[in-house]
Structure 1
Amino acid sequence: MTTPRCRVISDNDYAGDPDGLVQLAHLLLSPSAQVRAVIGSHLAVDDPFGSNAGDSAARAYQRVQEVLDLVGMAGQVPTYQGTELPLVDTDTPRESAAADAIIEEAMRTDTDLPLFATFGGGLTELASAYLREPRIADRMTAIWIGGPEYPELAVPPPGALHPEYNLNIDVAAAQVVFDSPIPLWQVPRDAYRQVLVGMAELRAGVAPAGRLGRYLFDRINDAVAKVEAHGHRMGETFVLGDNPLVLLTALQSAFEPDPSSSQYVLRPAPRITDDGSYEHRDDGRTIRVYTRLDLRLLVGDLFAKLSLQ
């Protein structure tokens, strides 16, 4: 029987794109990750796809309960609703039980399991937790799906949103985190867009996987229909852009644990400007920026776990 090798706090805008829900199901089905908290966080106030109506964290929290029930873990994992609003500036934290939970878990002294705090949306709760208790920086690693391409590493896709979608949720929070000493593994847009799967693959590998699989596939279909109703043709693929959070935590190598089959570069953390761009600085602390992801392991493990649960 697989025993946990790490602790994970999962924070995501679960009321937004359903890739977050797929990520959550994948994480909960991964026995090497001890899920210590799940946080439903807010979407952008000016979400370009019109997904939010002022209560996105509340709806995200409800989605979390639905997935936990379908996985058979209702009531077994602490869940929290994040704040509904981004930071007002880089000095003032938002008060929330979610930020409290991050602080409490990071400051534990009764376990030696490494702690990963993973974020598939904005960074509001992490920034708030750090502003209130800076000592958490020495006791965790943050993994974030977000941020635009680094010009020397990749080219933005045609018509790319600016600021990048997840960064746009809370630019001030990203500024806090990038300026902090919190160890950071970043999966920017050019990397998370690699997790491209065919709708036929999802129909064959996800939809038949019981009530959970049908729920996830239906949420993906709902999202596709909503976007297409606004005149955008989605084609035959869907991006599971949040699932690298599982790849980089639960699916680390057996010996010398690390995401050994994915590639990253080490670089100074840039300064995040108010308009959501990077400003290079030589004195920034070193962060990991992932450039290539092991898609075979990621997608294969997801489909296998869904079929076996």
Structure 2
Amino acid sequence: MIISSHLPPRFGGPASAAEGMAKAKELLAVMKATGAAKLLAGSESSIPSRRSWKPGPATAAIVHEAMRAGRDDPLVYAAGAGLTELALAWLAEPRIGRRLKLVWIGGGEHAGTGYPPPGPDEAEFNVSIDPIAAQIIFNESDIDIWQVPRDAYRQILFTSAEMQDLATSGPLGRFLQGQLDGMASKLAKIPGFSAMPATEVHILGDSPLVTLTALLTPVQPDPSSSRYILKPTPHLLADGRYRENPNGRPMRVYTSIDASLTIRDMVSKFRARRKIP
């Protein structure tokens, strides 16, 4: 199941979640995997307030998957955007908390493990999509969290030269190159957003979702080549900062992602797609 997330208003229009679902459908078509996953467009706006919420388009589907009878392992919820849909599902049925593991690309740096990037002091992007949803997951739910904060996901770098080479591997490589090449021009049209400086790398920051869920050791399954710390889940503030909470449930905060493994796997899989008729 693939659920699209809305974007903050200045980055996406009133139907950004629907546009995300259409993009996922387009990608599956390029992969010749149409119909391989159920596609759902998520909510088109963030949760307005803690006391004002209603189930979203994906709420029932998430609850159903988490609560399916006979599930031995927790449902892995891999999130590379905002947490609106997961928060709405937990609010609708809190029992899913112990049946879920959230692997989340998002959140700012934790004290002692990383430094924020240069530039304005602002909330990390995926937190900013829906701060209230992120607060619900961190501060109220009992969901097991594996977090890849900004300092960790920014480690997944892929050079422009590597991208040009990968684009020769087939339709999937060309599709990715087209998406990355168009990013700068799209961002330049956003009011108040600084133009992207010239650089020779792309940040493939959502790729750790694959590293941490699929590239596991066959014995005692775990993403053993990436590094994390265990800490009590802190209290997440409205501005995206953390307040330490010694009594919080344990969470993983990843400090280092095995970028080499991640990129090698991606490139090999892209090249293998050439053989699919």
Residues 245-289 of structure 1, C-alpha deviations (whole Å, 9 max, x = no match): 010001111110011110000111111112221111111111100
Calculate the aligned-residue CA RMSD, in Å: 1.5
Measured at CA, do residues 237 and 188 of structure 1 come closer, stay the same or move farther in structure 2, by a change above 3 Å? same
Aligned 1:19-168 pairs, distance under 5 A: 37-45=1-9, 47=10, 51-168=11-128
Matched, 1:238 2:219: no
Secondary structure, counterpart of 1:74 in structure 2: coil
Distance 1:173 1:144 in 2: 13
TM-score, L = length of structure 2: 0.92
Structure 1: which 5+ residue stretches go unaligned?
1-36
Deviation per CA, 1:129-184, whole angstroms, max 9, x where unpaired? 00000011111100111111112111111115511111000000000000211000
TM-score (norm 1): 0.83
Indicate conservation of the 8 Å contact 2:184/2:196, yes or no.
no
Aligned to 1:11: none
Q: Is the 8 A contact 1:91 1:131 kept in 2?
A: no
Aligned: 1:198 with 2:168: no
**Aligned amino acid, residue 228 of structure 2:** Y
Distance 1:71 1:293 in 2: 26
In the TM superposition, residue 113 of structure 1 has moved relative to its aligned partner by: 4.7
Q: Is the 8 A contact 1:93 1:132 kept in 2?
A: no
Q: Is it true that 1:226 corresponds to 2:190 in the alignment?
A: no
The change in CA–CA distance for 1:163 and 1:79 in structure 2 (over 3 A counts) is same
Distance between the aligned counterparts of 2:198 and 2:47, measured in 1? Answer: 33
- Aligned twin of 1:265: 229
Query: Residues 228 and 238 (structure 1 numbering): CA distance in 2 closer, same or farther, change over 3 Å?
Result: farther
Aligned to 1:186: 147
Total equivalences in the alignment? 268
In 2, the alpha carbon distance for the partners of 1:159 and 1:296 equals: 27
Match of 2:176 among 206, 216, 231: 216
Give the match's secondary structure for 2:182: helix
Mapped to 2, the partners of 1:59 and 1:231 lie a distance apart of: 23
CA distance in 2, matches of 1:186, 1:102: 20
Counterpart Cα distance in 2 of 1:71 and 1:115 = 25
User: For residues 121 and 198 of structure 2, what CA distance do their matches in structure 1 show?
Assistant: 16
The question of whether the paired residues in 1 share the 8 Å contact of 2:55 and 2:92 is answered with no
Between the aligned residues of both structures, percent identity stands at: 41
Change (3 A) 1:113 1:275: closer
Structure 2: segments with no counterpart, 5+ residues = none
